[in-house]
Amino acid sequence: MPPHLDAITLLDGRHGLERLLAFTRQADAEAALGALAQGIQANPLWQALGVVRLVGRARPAPVLALFGTFSPAQRLQLQDLAAQLDELLTAHRYVDYHDAERAAEGLAEALRRRYGSEALSCLSFTAIPRGGWIVLGMLAYLLDLRPDQLVAPGRDPLERRADDEGLVVVDDCALSGLRFQQFLSQCDAARVIFCPLYANPALCRAIEAAEPRVEACLHAVDLQDVAPARFGKAYPQWLAERRARIGDSGYWCGIAEYVAFAWCEPQTRYWNTETERFEAGWNLLPPALSLKRRIAASRLHAARGGTGEPDVELLDHHAHGPLIVADGVLWTEIDSAVALARLSAEPSGSAPCLRLEETAADMWRALLAHGSLEGAEAELVARYAVPGETLRRDLAGFVAQLQGHGILACR
């Protein structure tokens, strides 16, 4: 076991089981924690953590922590991961194909109200790859677009039309507007209508104000800004720093609420304090719920020779004696030792691990198995050549220490 080991809280249990089941779309706590673990591990950032151990406990409330030795940069990444988990369990949107169709109906109606059917028949339509093409396919049916109205990026969409007839650019969502900004820089159309299916209204207004060529930015479903709630009193300082870091990249400095689609989960970004730039952050949707996530997970597992099953240790304490493991306590076997941690009460907080080796580790295992001093003593006396009275005294002292640390409790 490494000389210094910490346990960083990723899921602290305060959201309860129902929200975890809703996010993972699983039927029970164990399956939900396994699905969440798959989502966490299907990330390049996970591969970069090195030797770590993901440990969870389903009862009394689902908790999840990461045991390992972490650099300052990794701690910041894991704090960001915990913050994302906290927010998506508070409120998340998972958009399946039926939901997307309903939203696309709303987007089609917004276009009809703004332009009318005759004007729409004169517009060209394109999409930002790749989720935008899925939405555009739905819009093509809903608006009864002709095949010649659909154009691919890179081809001049207005080569057969008057310059003022316009181009509709479709995407599945807009979070900061960066993808649209990059698309627009390579588009020669003089008149553009941007149509993200999901977006924050302030972002849409910012795009209209910043881009003279953009006649309108229409969306179907609002995404809320979660940054004020995440940062609280520190929000003004965070916003100033964010504006300085983003500069001319994108149009909006907020943080849109979590949204994921049956075909993809939008890529998050975090600020790397070492490289002083934004880099790819965590994606958390269980791979079973999204095509792109499923493909990415399969590639990552193949690269490291894995099976695709979640590499998570789910603890289940079945002993019926008077001694129980306290709520919020996790443990794991590393080499021949046991690492114990009482999780921090602070979201994304870390807790130093107690290290149990040799006799202490055996005492812990016996107490877990039997839940009583008497049962543990009966198992250990057969293994150690010491008088029963000595073993009983040492075991009682060990239990008292663990109770003092809040590791063990009485039923």
pLDDT at residue 162 above 70?
A: no
pLDDT at 157 over 50: no
Share of the chain above pLDDT 70, in %: 93
pLDDT tops 70 at residue 27 = yes
At 91 the pLDDT is 86
Least trusted range by pLDDT, from 49-63, 214-228, 268-282, 329-343:
268-282
The amino acid occupying position 131 is: G
* Entry field: residues in the chain: 411
pLDDT at 254 over 60: yes
**What's the pLDDT at 348?**
59
Q: Are strands 6-11 and 192-199 parallel, antiparallel or unpaired?
A: unpaired
Per-residue pLDDT tens digits for 113-132: 999 999 999 999 999 999 99
Average pLDDT, the chain: 89
How many Å separate Cα 25 from the centre of its chain?
A: 15
SS (H, E, C) the chain: CCCCCEEEEEECCCCHHHHHHHHHCCCCHHHHHHHHHHHHHCCHHHHCCCCCEEEEECCCCCEEEEEECCCHHHHHHHHHHHHHHHHHHHCEEEECHHHHHHHHHHHHHHHHHHHHHHHHCCCEEEECCCHHHHHHHHHHHHCCCCHHHECCCCCCCCCCCCCCCCEEEEEEEECCCHHHHHHHHCCCCCCEEEEEEEECHHHHHHHHHHCCCEEEECCCEECCECHHHHHHHHHHHHHHHHHHHHCCCCCCCCCECEEEECCCCCCCEEEECCCCEEEECCCCCCHHHCHHHHHHHHHHHHHCCCCCCCCCEEECCCCCCCEEECCCEEEEEECCEEEEEECCCCCCCEEECEEECHHHHHHHHHHHHHCCHHHHHHHHHCCCCCCHHHHHHHHHHHHHHHHHCCCEEEC
Are residues 174 and 218 in contact, defined by beta-carbon separation less than 8 angstroms? no
Please tell me the predicted confidence (pLDDT) of residue 168. 97
Cα dihedral 37, 273, 182, 185, rounded to 10, equals: 180
pLDDT given at position 309: 58
51 vs 174, which has greater pLDDT? Answer: 174
Measure the N-to-C terminal CA separation of the chain; round to a whole number of Å.
Answer: 31
Residue 97 phi/psi, 5° resolution? -65, -35
**Amino acid 319: pLDDT:** 67
Q: Work out the pLDDT band at 164, boundaries 50, 70, 90.
A: low
Does residue 120 or residue 354 have the better pLDDT? 120
pLDDT at 347: 61
- Is a pLDDT exceeding 80 seen at residue 102? yes
Beta-bridged to residue 221, according to DSSP, are: 198
pLDDT of 86 above 70: yes
- Comparing 341 with 303, which gets the higher pLDDT? 341
| Top-confidence residue, 398 or 352 | 398
Cα–Cα distance list, 118 to 144, 324, 357 (Å): 12, 72, 78
